[in-house]
Amino acid sequence: MQQPFSGEHTSGQPTSRRNVLAAAAGTAAAIGVTASSAPGTAQAAPPAPRSVPGRETGAEGGTEGGTEGNAPTTSSASAVHARAAALLQRMSLDEKIGQLFVIEVYGQTAETEHEGNRKLYGVPTPTEVIRKYHPGGVIYFDARRGPDNVREPRQIARLSNGLQRAAVRTGARVPLLISIDQEGGSVVYRMLEPATQLPGNMALAATRSTRDVYDSAEIIGTELAAVGINQNYAPVADVNINPANPVIGVRSFGSDTGLCAQFVSTAVRGYHRGGVASAAKHFPGHGDTDVDSHTGLPEIKHTRAELDRIDLPPFRAAIRRGVDTIMTAHIVVPSLDPSRVPATMSRPIVTGLLRGELGFKGVIATDALDMGGATTDFPPDVAPVRAFQAGCDQLVLAPQLDKAFAAVRNAVRSGQITEARLNSSVLRILEHKLHRRLFPSPYVSERRAARIVGSRRHRSRARQITERTVTLIRNEDGALPLPRTPATVLVTGWGTGPLAALARAIGERRGQLTTTLETGSRPNTAKIDEATQAARSHDVTVVLANASAAGKEDGAAQAQLIASLAATGRRLIVTGVRLPYDLRRFPDVPAYLATYNYGTPSMTALARVLYGEVAPHGELPVPIPTLDDPDRPLYPFGHGLHY
């Protein structure tokens, strides 16, 4: 797909590794050891837990291994600036340009030979990719995308150490920002078990607990830091006011701006306490769209007043809390930029609004430049230049990196991008790395990684949090809780993995005999008939619904399945395992719950709620509108039943 990049250092003075590292070590020592005063660092005390009668607030915020040791050191801004300026002065043009790019690499070790690296970069191993481009950052992905970087803690720590070793031994000897999208939940995540699985933003918002939000972010941050990942592209700061939103949904804290702002701020604190940089996304707000920016270019039609009231407050809150990075969105916002270019490419939005009006002084990162919202109108040699000219600092996943790199270099040499503009972004990135304490040693302990990731304390706390997320929305004629007398239970509907996890959790109870029948996202007549016949021979049927998995069909066939099951007269329980809006299609079902997540921990928590072992505590973070009138609520924001 991409041609190999052949450029080496083209300008600048030769770099002395000994001098740079020695100076960096001296500055790191001078930077001091407090963890609360620099931009982007967390305050020491966690937020007070919300007091709810009968609700267990969980353990205090400490985590195994000591999170204070992971927090960045700080100093006066002038000391960090001086050190960054000294590093910048020694960098060649190509080394400066390299710092702008965040790339992906293929393989589980720094020395793994992989065809993916050859195809993208013309060299076989991640180490050689780092040596060739001197990128400022790397982003990890799991095998679903292809790079296959994250398998287990020791392996991830070893990969991180290998990549850092390659970075500090070549070029300007600047450590990497190693990033990941680990939002929590079952939509955008990379690290699977043994990493602790947290329920995700909308589920957390259902608890209404700042303590749960804080602890969730801290656990994720602590585990990422342990394996050498120093930046998480989280939290999502979008306010999801559109039930048809195909790309945000449960990744958001919900539809209430105030709640989103509060929890975004809290999550930033939690990530910092855990020891990783945070990134609020997707600026200026991706919550009111029905187009996925991975495949198209959405338009946000909010007026400036609506943006100020709905979309911008969570970003303002993140900035006040000291968020390290803000990620731009590939969305058109005509009220902010009538030229109708994506926000990522818009100088009025990035420089005018984010830098100017909102006063953000941290790193601005693009969303992935290989997404449809960026590539449709901006080819590989145009998109990175336009994003940089708009005011972005980090260019994430630029397709055809050789072309992208050469385009930025040519823009600098021609004066299209001034060297002062280039230096300002590189300086900001270097300051960020100094604040995150990547100098002088960016390495982590593989042994400690194995001990921290998925620790008993983390898993216990995650279980407590997840149990509080389950929301009971409808419960007619005492359908729930289920009696603990012997019964046969049919577990059917969407999702092979979730169905198996729920059936296993139910079957652990004495006298409960489970049958699993997966019907898919768009069950046909034969599947509906099969499930209906099975329901007639079971005492209870539990259905998992997920309309989002059905695409444009939007769960209509799943609704037919549920109607057919209801007609049997047997006890029927339905659970929406992603968006709670699914209830619109079957509003008369006897019992309906929302988990906002279909991971195993959420299915285990659901089983406990079904049998009354845990009372449902969740409250809707979004209103559920009727199917025929999106402005008429079926159930309001904040609704939630209890036993």
Catalytic residues: 294, 367
Q: How far apart are alpha carbons 85 and 69 in whole angstroms?
A: 27
Type of residue numbered 117 = N
Residue type, 628: D
Q: What is the DSSP string of 450-467?
A: HHHTT-HHHHHHHHHHHH
Q: At what angle do helices 153-168 and 126-133 cross, to 10 degrees?
A: 30
What's the CA gap between 595 and 505, in Å, rounded? 15
Nearest Cα to 217, choosing from 155, 279, 270, 291?
Answer: 270
d(CA 163, CA 112): 11
Query: Left, alpha or beta for 138 (phi > 0: left; psi -120 to 50: alpha)?
Result: beta
Give me Rg for the CA atoms of the chain.
25
SS (H, E, C) 357-419: HCCCCCEEECCCCCCHHHHCCCCCCCHHHHHHHHCCCEEECCCCHHHHHHHHHHHHHHCCCCH
How far apart CA 601 and CA 505 sit, in angstroms, is 10
Residue 436 class from Cβ within 10 Å (0-12 exposed, 13-18 middle, 19+ buried)? buried
10 Å CB burial of residue 366 (0-12, 13-18, 19+) is buried
The letter for the amino acid at 502 is L
CA distance linking residue 445 with residue 454, whole number of Å = 16
8 A C-beta contact, residue 521 and residue 558: yes
Size of the chain, expressed as the number of residues it contains:
643
Angle separating helix axes 525-536 and 556-566, nearest 10 degrees: 30
Structure tokens at 278: 């945070």
Torsion angle, CA of 139/142/143/144, rounded to 10 degrees?
A: -100
What counts of helices (H) and strands (E) characterise the chain?
Answer: 22, 16
In three-state secondary structure terms, 225 is helix
Element of type H or E holding 516? strand 512-518
Under 8 Å between Cβ of 539 and 571: yes
